[in-house]
A = this chain, B = another copy of it.
């Protein structure tokens, strides 16, 4: 059976790695991104470079979206030179796989608009960061028509290690991802608060990291970002501070909508906002430690 042709839009840190893995798995990947450097990297990986989402979707049965937020996803689908513009030339009813982190409300709205066109929309955000994308060890939280999810398993398998079926309605994947980001964001901010406090107390940061990361105090985020906090090295971002400004913002939007007080993630968001507001929005997200360390006596 011939592998489907994939339109792939959004070739940033995570998207590029995932697109490359699809190429390696034998999919024909037609990619688009606004950054010429990303397109060049895709070409080197064996993907076909396109000049727009409308061009990328020509002949494709599936479109994978790895853009930054819901607004960009909407533009890619419904905006000028978007998937809809190129749709008349798509080979068959399109299945859109959105790996974008957005609010459940946004995902549900995009899903409804796609359904109205007889397109299939899978709300399938991912977790695992740039390293997970590179190694194909992402976790996918997919919601949408059960059959469509099942038929996409080979595609998911090429870029991820774990597929969680979050439900049958677009928005349910986004909700699970928000819960995931609540934990990631709080754990990362907690690592910053703890390491900055250890520093203030005059402890040996490396020794503290070595012991707490291996004890009941451990978290994936602490193990991954802690070494950069020990080194004070935040200039080679794998994921930026501003990503958590966005993701914890989504968490807080949901919390308000649900009338659910979420004070920990609210506090964590403030620290990422403080970090971004101090000019560190584009730095590695481990730089949130500097926010806690910025109060000097």
Binary flags per residue of A180-191, CB closer than 8 Å to B gives 1, else 0: 111110110111
For A193, the chain B residues whose CB sits under 8 A away are 182, 186, 262-265
Task: Choose from B176, B183, B201, B267 the contact partner of A264 (Cβ within 8 Å).
Answer: B267
Q: Decide: B260 and A208 in contact? CB cutoff 8 A.
A: no
For A265, the chain B residues whose CB sits under 8 A away are 190, 193
Q: Decide: B190 and A183 in contact? CB cutoff 8 A.
A: yes
For A292, the chain B residues whose CB sits under 8 A away are 260-262
Flag the segment in A114-122, A148-156, A218-226 that touches B: A218-226
Binary flags per residue of A86-124, CB closer than 8 Å to B gives 1, else 0: 000000000000000000100000000000000000000
Number of interface residues of A (CB under 8 A): 65
- The interface residues of chain A, by DSSP majority, are classed as helix
Distance of A76 from chain B, by nearest CB (Å): 25
Flag the segment in A17-25, A44-52, A60-68, A126-134 that touches B: A126-134
Task: Choose from B129, B164, B176, B212 the contact partner of A216 (Cβ within 8 Å).
Answer: B129
19 pairs of residues in contact across A and B, judged by CB atoms under 8 Å: A162-B214, A176-B203, A179-B194, A179-B203, A179-B217, A180-B211, A180-B216, A180-B217, A184-B216, A186-B186, A197-B255, A216-B220, A218-B219, A219-B219, A259-B295, A261-B292, A264-B264, A264-B267, A264-B268
